Chains A and B, each alone.
Chain A
Amino acid sequence: MPFATAHTVSLHGALGHLIDVQADVSPGQVLTTLVGRADASLQEARDRCRMAIINSELVWPSTKRITILLSPADLIKRGSHFDLAIAVAVLAADGRLPRAPLESTAFIGELTLDGGLRSVPGVLPMVLAAAERGIRRVFVPEPLAREASMVPDMSVFGMRSLAQVVAELRGEEVPESAPVAPMSGSRLLSWRGAERLEEVDLADLRGLADAKYAVEVAAAGGHHVLLTGPKGSGKTSIAERIPTILPPLTSEEALELTAIHSLAGTLEPGDGLLTQPPYAAPHHDASKASLIGGGTGYVRPGEISRAHCGVLFLDEFPLFRSDVLEALRQPLESGDVTIARREELVTLPARGMLVLASNPCPCGDYHPKASVNRCTCSEKVRRDYRSRVTGPLADRIDIVRHVEPLLPHESADRFAVPERSEVVKARVDAARRRQAARYDERSWRLNAHAPGPLLREHWPLAPDGQRLVDDELFSGRLSSRGAVRVHRLAWTVADLAAVRSGRDVSPGADEVQIALCLRTAAPLPAGFAQVQAS
Chain B
Amino acid sequence: MSEADRRARAALSRLTEPGDPRLTQLVAELGAVRLYDLLVHDRDAGGMLSDVATRLASTDPDRELDRAARQGIRFVVPSDDEWPAQVEDLVAAGQLHERGGPPIGLWVRGPLRLDRLGRSVAIVGSRSATTYGERVAGEIAAVVARQGCPVVSGAAFGIDQAAHRGAVAMDGPSVAVLACGVDRAYPAAHAQLIAHLAATGAVVSEAAPGCAPTRIRFLARNRLIAAFARGSVVVEAAVRSGALNTASWAGRLNRVVLGVPGPVTSAQSQGVHELIRKGGAALVTNGQEVLELVGQAGEHLVDDPRAPVRPRDRLTSRHRQVLDAVPVARGAGTDSVARTAGLGIVEVSSALSYLHRQGLVERDDDGWHLAALAHT
Contact = CB atoms under 8 A, between A and B. Distances in A.
Interface of A: 209-210, 369-371, 404, 407-410, 412-416, 522-527, 529-530, 532-534
Interface of B: 128-135, 138-139, 141-142, 157-158, 161-162, 165-166, 168-170, 189-193, 196, 262-263, 265-266, 268, 303, 305-308
A525 B130 contact: yes
Contacts of A416: 165
A370 B304 CA distance: 10
Contacts of A209: 131
B169 A522 contact: no
B192 A415 contact: yes
Q: State the main secondary structure of chain B at its contact with A.
A: helix
A523 B132 contact: yes
B193 A533 contact: yes
Given A209-B131, A410-B138, 4 more contacts: A408-B142, A408-B170, A416-B165, A533-B165
A525 B128 contact: yes
Interface of A is mostly: loop
Contact of A524 (B131, B190, B191, B308): B131
Contacts of B168: 413-415
A419 to B, nearest CB: 15
Contact of A414 (B131, B139, B169, B306): B169
B246 to A, nearest CB: 19
A407 B138 contact: yes
Nearest to A416: B165
A380 to B, nearest CB: 11
A404 B136 CA distance: 12
A218 to B, nearest CB: 16
A522 B263 contact: yes
Nearest to A211: B131
Counting chain B CB atoms within 10 Å of each CB, the highest count among A410, A415, A523, A532 belongs to: A523
Contacts of A369: 305
A108 B262 CA distance: 65
6 contacts: A210-B131, A408-B142, A409-B169, A523-B133, A523-B262, A524-B131
Nearest to B128: A525
Contacts of B266: 522-523
B131 A370 contact: no
B189 A415 contact: no
Contacts of B133: 523, 526
A414 B196 CA distance: 10
B169 A412 contact: yes
B153 to A, nearest CB: 14
B305 A532 contact: no
A525 B303 contact: no
A525 B189 contact: no
Contacts of A414: 165, 168-169, 196
Contacts of B132: 523
Q: Which of A209, A524, A527 has the most CB of B within 10 A?
A: A527
Contact of B191 (A412, A526, A534): A534
Nearest to A513: B267
Given A414-B168, A527-B157, A409 B141 contact: yes
A515 to B, nearest CB: 15
Contacts of B134: 526
Nearest to B145: A409
Contacts of A523: 130-133, 262-263, 266
